[in-house]
Structure 1
């Protein structure tokens, strides 16, 4: 399931509710404990409806993994789209959306870790992982290109991709650390840390991305 597949799910609330119930059961019971019966009970439907929509429990669990990663990418993409025309602000809001709730979530990290264990052994999970990573990188590459082009800096595909890979590593690391809730620091610091580091990766003047956060880490209105 790609990000576009996730977006189309809004047209079918019953199917979406089954995927949400699947994720809830996996979060509570693990993959082995999330039986078709429990998922059906959680969604308040019959087990036959699972077969109608997905064919089997395994297919539904696979779709739930795609739904989870598609949901997170789409939420960050929407934050960037809502940020206006400024390339810097769009990139800043994309980064911030990935290190703040609802994407920043102990539940989502736990689910992600559960699914990620299947990637090496199950090609279908590996396919979803690869496609979701490709889409996320593509979004970052597009935003990086816009920021560099606005400064009349060289922005060939290989440079934009290298920056996107580095930014993805930054985002993944802070997302994991912040979602684990170890209590060593306030997660409210993460947006400022993420944007400061992103400025360093892209060799931007200090404050070019951070200007879109106020003292508490909330987005500021577009200045352009």
Structure 2
């Protein structure tokens, strides 16, 4: 049997840790459970990681990386309203696609905030930094003040996180899809009013399309 590279094993353990944390919480995410989820033995996990803390550090990087992928995947040659809508929809789709990712993210941030303070904040800080950059680039044709960008980023995060909590609580995909549209409508209305107040030119939003 071909030997599995260590890098692949590490990814397997990261994926397994996400599933275990989502189902059992941080306290229940033992190395044994994670190894079993990854269809490996505990010795292999300890060969790849010196400690569970080291594994969790990679899980954090995976979580922040998923947010970066969504945010940086937005079209930079667009408008602020269009980019905001695309990012909000992208994050909500990410949550909807993987309840385990959603649950694990909330568990990890809460745990890290209690145990390590800065590490829990870092997940949000990194996501917000990427978000501000993407929004600023989208607003290049009609620049707005930095505080407006900060407000848009905050509203996006609030809408996305509120959606995630409802999705985790009720688990109804049909209802969640309808709530996605409500959130996008709320963002449209608020953003139009905020940009008008800021003196920015209104931008025509392209109709969202689905594959």
- Asked if TM exceeds 0.5, the reply is yes
Kindly state the Cα deviation for residue 167 of structure 1 after the two structures are TM-superposed.
Answer: 2.2
* 1:160 and 2:154 matched: no
Q: Which residue of 1 aligns with 2:109?
A: 116
Within 5 A, what are the aligned runs for 1:18-33?
A: 18-33=13-28
* 1:178 and 2:167 matched: yes
Q: Say whether the 8 Å CA contact 2:76–2:134 is kept in structure 1.
A: no
Q: Which residue of 1 aligns with 2:67?
A: 73
Within 5 A, what are the aligned runs for 1:63-142?
A: 63-67=58-62, 69-77=63-71, 79-80=73-74, 83=75, 85-87=77-79, 88-100=81-93, 102-104=94-96, 105-123=98-116, 126-142=117-133
Q: Say whether the 8 Å CA contact 1:167–1:201 is kept in structure 2.
A: no
Runs of at least 5 residues in structure 1 that lack an aligned partner in the other structure: 1-10, 220-224
Kindly state the Cα deviation for residue 78 of structure 1 after the two structures are TM-superposed.
Answer: 5.2
Q: Which residue of 1 aligns with 2:38?
A: 43
Kindly state the Cα deviation for residue 169 of structure 1 after the two structures are TM-superposed.
Answer: 1.5
Q: CA RMSD in A?
A: 3.1
* 1:144 and 2:114 matched: no
Taking structure 2 as the reference length, what is the TM-score of the superposition? Answer: 0.74
Report the number of matched residues: 197
Q: Which residue of 2 aligns with 1:13?
A: 8
Q: Say whether the 8 Å CA contact 2:132–2:150 is kept in structure 1.
A: yes
Kindly state the Cα deviation for residue 184 of structure 1 after the two structures are TM-superposed.
Answer: 10
**CA separation in 1, counterparts of 2:7 and 2:89?**
29
**Cα deviations by residue, 1:48-107 (Å, 9 ceiling, x for unpaired):** 33223321123323432442x224303413541xx473235443221111112x422432
**CA separation in 1, counterparts of 2:49 and 2:166?**
34
Q: Say whether the 8 Å CA contact 1:141–1:161 is kept in structure 2.
A: yes
